[in-house]
Amino acid sequence: MKDDDIKNGDREVHPTPQLDELEDGPWPSFVTGLKRLRDEGAPGNQKMMNDLLGQLNHSYENRMGYWKGGTVSVFGYGGGIIPRFSEVAEKFPESKEFHTLRVMPPAGFHYTTDILRKLCDIWEEHGSGLIAFHGQSGDIMFQGCTTENTQKAFDDFNEIGFDLGGAGPALRTAMSCVGHARCEQSCYDEVRAHRSIINSLLDEMHRPSLPYKFKFKFSGCANDCVNAIHRADFAVIGTWRDEIKIDQEKVKEHVKEKGRRYTTDTVLKMCPTRAISLNDDDTLEIDNKSCVRCMHCINVMTKALSPGDDRGISILIGGKRALKIGDLMGIMVVPFMKLETDEDFEKLEEFAENVVEFFADNALEHERVGETIDRIGLPAFLEALEIEPDPNMVNHPRTSCYVRTDDFDEEADKWFARQATDQVAE
Amino acid sequence: MSDQSSKPRVPDEVGVPDPFQYMHPVLKANYGNWDWHDRPRPGVLRHVAKSGDVIYTVRAGTQRQMDVFTIRRLCDIGDRYADGHVRFTTRSNIEYLVADEARVAPLIGALNEAGFPVGGTGASVSMVSHTQGWLHCDIPGTDASGVVKGLMDMLHDEFVQEKMPNRLRITTSCCQINCGGQGDIAVNVQYTKPPKINHDLVANVCERPAVVARCPVAAIRPAMVDGKPSLEVDEKKCVCCGACYPPCPPMQINGDDSTKIAVWVGGKHSNARSKPSFHKLAVANLPNNAPHWPEVKDVVRRIVEAYKSDAQHWERMGEWIDRIGWKRFFEMTELAFTKHHLDTWTGARKSMNMSAHLHF
Ligand code: HEM
Ligand code: HEM
Ligand code: SF4
Ligand code: SF4
Ligand code: SF4
Ligand code: SF4
């Protein structure tokens, strides 16, 4: 009974009683959108969406998924397409092939309405008309394409300047926050960092041959709007070394407007290192040696406070989701690096390439770089990348005494030598 | 396919597109030179550049999974009421950029009229970050877009106003791989039974050593079943994670009796105040009750209400719980604390209270 066709205008469509329930309510309904493609879409979209809706309703009835993977690719590339074949194709034949093209968006997700329309036109012609802005990995997800049309759709996207993103054991599509384009908190040029790293490593994206996935994410400050520390193997976070900039007049205005108690409760008390004092004349004093650049006070007093002038980036390595040893966050491995000149950007690119190369050479199959670091220990990772240990890499020094320390003195000498050169450099 | 005579087109490996060709001219002109911002009303940001230039951003919620008609409608609004330049946030909200303040109110009117809620800024509940579910993934235990639609219908008011103590970020994941990520509240599939193996298919479909290697607790062994090479699972060891299912679909993890939903709290991405944190288990074993998931919605509502009523300004969910203590959290939300809340995974000891600090 469930899958008997019902009349809809002049043609038969699958009934979707379960999905119909998701059309009410104030939030925009994806079901209404799918139905519009079914009823008013291009002829190809209409047929595909009718069966797609049928299959989705079938999933809702039985609480089971009915897609399986496979292999589909475009000429010259080994990844970027997520193949989907229906396991209930005899009932829903028109959506039996429903592949996704992962397409890389412009860094920072900027579009004109004009380019969005072009993307829609291509997808209306070759695909199902269903698009997600964006997938959690940061791709534009063009969902619903037959095997035959996959190449055509890609060719058309590629002609207007878009390229496939990553899938499989490969470099994945990256994400960057709005940053420099519209945010005063931003501490480096996210667009340039994002594009120069990914575009120099495209081969690893388009021809998957890494042990497993590798993701970059770029946030302009520690607010980390693109969730880099949790979700990226290589997280680039903007920061600064000198003092927070304070406009004392604006501080006074803030205190006057919000009150002294509210300012104390929401700014002073919430500073994680108790680095802020409110003077008797309603000006602020910040102990910048104790400040950890968490962004909180700057977030609250957007007009009065801003990051210092000596800006740059920090890099955390090894974030990922659950499989297989549990969730990991990135570990701070580069506390500070300037990122202004061409040489700075080249240095970053080179470092990124070295980390990916290390990953390619040392990770076990299906292991993320964070798991590799857990397996071999951070000192071995640092040594491989020629990074010196730094107190900013830890919450606190080791508590376990099970370690062999017979070269402790040589290591200590290196530290003192580094301290001396750093002093000279400054 | 084989009768295609022309040579295939060689891809132009352009990589990440240059955003400057699409960026609003005011953003382009002031790239890297912004001074401050504020929020004149929920859903609207005003950014002021050092040059004195001003740009307004109007943020609106979308269904993320959009048909071309919806996207064209959003574009029509962008052409008529804004400057034709838009961007999307990490959480699939669309942002219209407008240089002229006078255009802000009509733009909001047009968006509301077309059914797109304006909000998601500041101390609000923004769009739920989510993934694919039954619509497109090959391993889902539940849907994603449907759960999200239900949650956002319920939390619509909290999206269009800024009345939370701080921003509240919700995520959902339709299997334990957890594409949705960490959240102040995370609604995730939680399997409760080991996979049921279809032994007839294993030999044909699965690369057995790869499946054995995938298991985080080494519960899978190669075995002969009815004279055929297959796999067996030590059900005492199995933690029901579902990791063996993607490489070996005959190890069916989903089922009415086994696919349940758990709600987690206190995950945080930002470094503001406290360090980023993972979400922690609040409740498990909620039914996977499509199409409305009422039991899940009820739990989420209780958690949102408790946080809203009790947290101080700028405290995120996890920071609020740190202050009031887990005892109070479970009391206020009327959820049970059980032995399953005691971690048993690597590093579990670090999550125990090794002090005499107590909450009464
Ligand atoms: C057959 C296997 C798999 C397929 C087809 C698949 C497919 C996908 C898709 C389509 C997305 C994007 C979803 C969206 O953004 O809407 C995604 C994201 C993701 N997948 Fe998978 N996945 C697979 C296996 C895995 C495995 C084994 C893991 C973990 C070990 C994993 C971890 C993730 C994570 C963490 C994300 C979120 C992306 C991010 O944080 O940037 N996936 N996957
Ligand atoms: C100048 C101030 C701010 C601006 C302009 C801003 C803007 C944004 C934007 C545009 C996004 C989406 C990011 C993207 O799609 O690229 C975002 C996300 C985010 N923002 Fe901010 N934000 C600001 C301040 C803050 C503050 C005060 C906090 C925390 C206290 C914060 C925490 C986050 C987090 C954690 C996200 C990640 C996405 C999420 O979980 O929703 N931001 N912000
Ligand atoms: S991460 Fe920082 S710089 Fe980037 S958009 Fe968020 S607040 Fe701005
Ligand atoms: S940035 Fe964070 S740590 Fe630094 S002074 Fe402000 S609140 Fe304190
Ligand atoms: S959370 Fe799991 S089921 Fe959902 S899209 Fe991700 S991999 Fe698929
Ligand atoms: S469900 Fe997880 S723990 Fe159980 S056998 Fe499969 S991989 Fe191992």
Q: What integer is the mean pLDDT of B197-224?
A: 93
Q: What integer is the mean pLDDT of B126-150?
A: 94
ipTM, interface predicted TM-score of the complex: 0.93
Q: Which tokens is A365 given? A: 């199959």
pLDDT tens for each residue of chain A, 426 residues long:
344 566 566 678 999 999 999 999 999 999 999 999 999 999 999 999 999 999 999 999 999 999 999 999 999 999 999 999 999 999 999 999 999 999 999 999 999 999 999 999 999 999 999 999 999 999 999 999 999 999 999 999 999 999 999 999 999 999 999 999 999 999 999 999 999 999 999 999 999 999 999 999 999 999 999 999 999 999 999 999 999 999 999 999 999 999 999 999 999 999 999 999 999 999 999 999 999 999 999 999 999 999 999 999 999 999 988 777 788 999 999 999 999 999 999 999 999 999 999 999 999 999 999 999 999 999 999 999 999 999 999 999 998 888 999 999 999 999 999 999 887 765
* Domain range annotation of chain B: 19-113, 133-192+259-351, 198-252
Nearest 5°: the CA angle B152, B154, B155 is: 60
DSSP assignment of A127-156: S-SEEEE--TTS-EEEE---HHHHHHHHHH
Percent share of chain B, pLDDT over 70 = 98
Residue A6 has what pLDDT? 64
* Domain range annotation of chain A: 1-166, 175-238+312-425, 245-306
Rg of chain A on CA atoms, in Å:
26
In the reported structure, the alpha carbon of residue A179 is separated from the centroid of ligand 3 by a whole-number distance in angstroms of: 5
Architecture of domain A175-238+312-425: 2-Layer Sandwich (3.30)
CATH number of the structural domain B198-252:
3.30.70.20
* Shortest CA gap A345–chain B (Å): 16
Are the CB atoms for B129 and B49 separated by under 8 Å? no
Across the interface, whether the CB atoms of A230 and B276 are under 8 A apart is answered: yes
Architecture of domain B19-113: 2-Layer Sandwich (3.30)
Mean pLDDT of chain B: 95
- Give the closest residue to B32 by CA, choosing from B20, B43, B21, B17: B20
- pLDDT band, residue B8 (cuts 50/70/90): confident
By CA distance, what is A193's nearest residue in B? B16
- pLDDT band, residue B347 (cuts 50/70/90): confident
Mutate to test the pocket of ligand 6, among B196, B234, B244 (most ligand atoms within 8 A of CB): B244
DSSP assignment of B270-306: --SSSPPB--EEEEEEE---TTT-HHHHHHHHHHHHH
CATH classification (class only), B133-192+259-351: alpha beta
Number of the ligand 1 atom closest to the C-alpha atom of A141: 16
What are the chain B neighbours of A368 within 8 Å (beta carbons)? none
Across the interface, whether the CB atoms of B19 and A117 are under 8 A apart is answered: no
Q: Where are the alpha helices (DSSP H) in B54-207?
A: 68-81, 104-113, 145-154, 156-160, 199-205
Q: Which amino acid is residue B34, in one-letter code?
A: W
Q: Which tokens is A47 given? A: 């047929």
Q: Which amino acid is residue A83, in one-letter code?
A: P
Give SS3 for B337: coil
CATH number of the structural domain A1-166:
3.30.70.2500
Residue B1 has what pLDDT? 45
CATH classification (class only), A245-306: alpha beta
Across the interface, whether the CB atoms of A225 and B90 are under 8 A apart is answered: yes
For an interface test with A, the pick among B271, B280, B297 (most A C-beta atoms closer than 10 Å) comes out as B271
pLDDT tens per residue, range B13-59:
999 999 999 999 999 999 999 999 999 999 999 999 999 999 999 99
| Cβ-based neighbours of B161, under 8 Å, separated by 6 or more | B42, B119, B124
What are the chain B neighbours of A41 within 8 Å (beta carbons)? 67-69
Are the CB atoms for A284 and A252 separated by under 8 Å? no
pTM of the full predicted structure? 0.85
Domains A1-166 and A245-306 share a fold: yes
- pLDDT band, residue B4 (cuts 50/70/90): low
Across the interface, whether the CB atoms of B138 and A129 are under 8 A apart is answered: no
Mutate to test the pocket of ligand 6, among B177, B190, B220 (most ligand atoms within 8 A of CB): B220
- Give the closest residue to B299 by CA, choosing from B166, B169, B185: B185
- What is the Cβ-side half-sphere exposure of residue A174, based on CA atoms within 13 angstroms? 34
Residue nearest to atom 6 of ligand 4 (CA): A297
Q: What integer is the mean pLDDT of B164-171?
A: 97
Report d(CA B105, CA B83) in Å as an integer: 14
The partner residues of A314 in beta bridges, in order of sequence, read A237
Report d(CA B64, CA B131) in Å as an integer: 10
Number of other residues whose CB lies within 10 A of the CB of residue A15: 17
Across the interface, whether the CB atoms of A26 and B156 are under 8 A apart is answered: yes
* Shortest CA gap B67–chain A (Å): 5
Domains B133-192+259-351 and B198-252 share a fold: no
pLDDT tens per residue, range B83-113:
999 999 999 999 999 999 999 999 999 999 9
Q: How many CB pairs under 8 A join A and B?
A: 354
